[in-house]
Amino acid sequence: MIIDVDCHNYWCSAEVLLPYMDPFFKDYFVRGERTGPKGAFPHAHRPWFHPEGFKRADIDPQSEAENYQIMKSKHLDKYNIDFAILTGDESLEASTLANPYYANALVKAYNDYQIEEWLPLDDRFVGSIIIAPQDPHLAAEEIRRLGHHPRMVQVLASHGASRPYGDPFYHPIFEACAEVGLPFAMHLGGQGGINSNPIGAGPTTFFWETHAILPQTAMTHVASMIAQGVFEKWPELYMVVIECGVAWVPSVMWRLDANYKALRKETPWLKKLPSEYCRDHIRFTTQPLERPANLQHLWSTLEAMDGKNTLMFASDYPHWDQDDVNALHIPPDWRDNVLGGNALQVYKRIQTIVDSKAA
């Protein structure tokens, strides 16, 4: 089984959201200022730009219908994808806005648009409840509003945020995730506006250098989720880290373990080593896997993070660095786990769909 845990469903214009917005925010959207031309999604922009654009050059839909038809032809059918978790695209950037009510209205409209216009297109599609985490109580309301939909399989936020996700400020989000039985996923993005600079020393100059070191933010969130005891408070919760690389995971866990052993009195609520919480509760996606000249160096690193059981396949369709499911540079005997088996452990709703089809 092949489960793609990061499949981006594009639109040609963010105006597709207008039918799903109440009159006040619809007026805000139509008449208000935004970054970009008519039809762009409102968000605060980052300090650097991709030199060509994020989509693959060969994917250029001219109508809303073509977004699905091209995805079906060039991805779902081509690679025999069994399930594709839709992760939206621009909608994640709502986290950059200072106005949390507008941000929440935007992601709420996207979620309804996704359910009404994307999920019915293909039985292989399952969805993500995108949230604007700058107001955790509004985010929790949105999780509870849609959290029992049988084809919504995760809660999704950008990895750009105003503070580390383990902070108790965000705990209403995890309480709602636990209540509806969904994992919390964090996707690369949201680098701008009210969110903290994703690069520790300050903004970088070029896209390629920025893209290479964006995992800094993911490291902070992972350490915070563990240290603040999120997984002790909600022991069934999974966290999914999407599109943030993986080779950093073992070294960060080694450092966290060493420092926790020496200074554990700071966090008496923790019952296990940080690396054990990571192994039990945090999953990482394959896109983008690092590419050393010596592949064995990568495999040794993946082994150190129990990659056979902690990695999940993500294509990142249709982005410029999309991964080919047939060209994943992982140990061959890991493929069944990484391509689908691990995802079935995390995404219980997908397992339920599989079971119902087999019945």
Q: If you average pLDDT over every residue of the chain, what do you get?
A: 95
172-226 pLDDT, tens digit per residue, is 999 999 999 999 999 999 999 999 999 999 999 999 999 999 999 999 999 999 9
**Cα distance between residue 131 and residue 157, in whole Å:** 6
**Cα distance between residue 300 and residue 317, in whole Å:** 27
Q: Say whether pLDDT at 320 is over 80.
A: no
Q: Say whether pLDDT at 319 is over 90.
A: no
Closest CA to 8 of 70, 101, 100: 70
Peptide linkage before 318 cis (omega within 30 of 0): yes
CA atoms within 13 A on the CB side of 337: 13
Closest CA to 285 of 85, 149, 123, 131: 85
Tell which phi-psi region holds residue 137, choosing left (phi > 0), alpha (psi between -120 and 50) or beta: alpha
Whether 315 and 78 have beta carbons less than 8 Å apart is answered as: no
81-132 pLDDT, tens digit per residue, is 999 999 999 999 999 999 999 999 999 999 999 999 999 999 999 999 999 9
- How do 239-242 and 125-130 pair as beta strands? unpaired
The whole model's pTM is what?
0.97
Find the DSSP H helices in the chain: 23-31, 64-71, 100-113, 136-146, 171-180, 207-213, 215-227, 230-233, 249-263, 274-281, 295-304, 307-310, 335-336, 342-346, 348-358
